[in-house]
Amino acid sequence: MSKKVHVFNAGPCLLPQEAIDSAIAALKDFKGTGISVLSVSHRTKEWEETMDECRALWKELLNIPDTHEVVFLGGGASLQFLYVAMNFLEKKAAYLDTGVWAHKALQQAQGIGEAYAIACSADKNYTYIPKGYEIPKDIDYLHITTNNTIYGTEIKEDYDCPVPLIADMSSDIMSRPVDVSKYDLIYGGAQKNVGPAGVVFAIIRKDALGKVSRYIPTMLDYRTHIDKGSMFNTPPVFAIYIMTETLRWLKSIGGIPAIQKRNQEKAALLYGEIDRNSMFVGTAAKEDRSLMNVCFVMAPGKEDLQDEFMAFAKAQGMVGIKGHRSVGGFRASLYNACTLEDVQALVDCMKEFEKLHC
C-alpha cells in the first residue's frame, strides 16, 4: 500500500478524485463513442455538448450575467497579459503591483502603450496589499491580481471601481463568490482551482470590446473567440474536459458558498497553528493573508532548522510545501480540492516538530 500523501503544490493543483476518475474513464472511451477523449474531434456533437456544459457551469456557479461571455483559450495567463493590453489599452492604464505576476502583467502592457503602477507593495517584498490610493478617472482600466501565490496575499473583495476593472484571478477563482458585473474582464489559468494546466478562462463584458483603435491580430482579439465559441482553432480538449468534471464536482458539493466555507476553515486552521507554534511565523500582513496560499518561515533564531523541517515534513507525507525560490521558507497551497484532513495533517506535523525542539 502506498504512503498517504498530502498535496500542497502551488500549481498544477490537486484535483478532486471524482474528476480524475472521470478522466481515466474518458481516456478509454469518451461518452460511449469508443474513442479516447485524447483523440475525439472537437467538431463532434459529443464534444460540443461538453464545451456547452463547461460554459454553462461557469455561468451557473459564478452567477455570470448575460452581459458577459466565457471563453477558453490556450497560452496560459501570461499570454493574457498581452491580450488585456491589446484589447483594452487605448490611452493609458493603471496596474496594482502586488507581486511577480502583477508586475509581469504591467510590463507587457508597457510594451503596447502607456501603463503604470498606481500603487506597489514591493517595498516590503509584496507582503501586503496597497490601500488608500486614488484611482484616476481618465485611465482605460485598472488591473489587479486578486491572489498572489508567491507571497500569500489576497484581495478578498470586489472593488467598487470608477473605471473598467480587470482582474487576474488565476489562483482564487471559484474559491469565493465574485460579483462579475463589477469587472470588464476576469481571466486566469485553470491549474490552481478549476482544472489542469493547459487551458485559460476569460470572462468578458461583451460591450467593452471593440473600443481600441489599433489593429488586433485575429488570435489576440477576444471577439474572435466569443464569435467562434472558443473553437476558432482546436481548443485544449483534454484540459477542458477535466475542467468540466472539476466544476461538476464543485456543483455537487454545494457550489461556491460551500467551497468558500471549506476554504475559510482550512486557512483558519493553518494560520492558527502558525501563530501559535513557536517554530514558525507567517510572512503576509494578517489583514491580507491569502486563503489559497499560506506562506510562512522559521521563527527568528530557528532559521537553521529549515532544511530539517522540510525533510521531516516530507517524511510525514507533505508534498509541495517549499516556498517559492524568490522568498524561501514554506508555502502550503490550500486550493479547492485540498481537504481539511490534509491541512490537519500538516498542522499535526508542525506540532510534532515543535515538540522535538522544545
Q: Which CATH class is domain 254-356?
A: alpha beta
pLDDT digits (tens, 9 = 90+) for 219-248: 999 999 999 999 999 999 999 999 999 999
Nearest-Å Rg of the Cα atoms of the chain is 21
Dist. CA 337–CA 60, nearest whole Å: 19
pLDDT score of 1: 44
pLDDT digits (tens, 9 = 90+) for 82-135: 999 999 999 999 999 999 999 999 999 999 999 999 999 999 999 999 999 999
Whether 327 contacts 150, CB under 8 Å: yes
Q: Is the pLDDT of residue 2 over 70?
A: no
pLDDT band at 19 (very low <50, low <70, confident <90, very high): very high
Dist. CA 272–CA 284, nearest whole Å: 14
Q: Is the pLDDT of residue 357 over 90?
A: yes
Fold for the domain defined by 17-252: Aspartate Aminotransferase; domain 2 (3.40.640)
pLDDT score of 325: 85
As annotated, the active-site residues are 101, 168, 192
**Per-domain residue ranges for the chain?**
17-252, 254-356
The pTM (predicted TM-score) of the whole model is 0.97
C-alpha grid cell, residue 231: 473553437
Give the pLDDT mean for 277-292: 98
pLDDT score of 345: 98
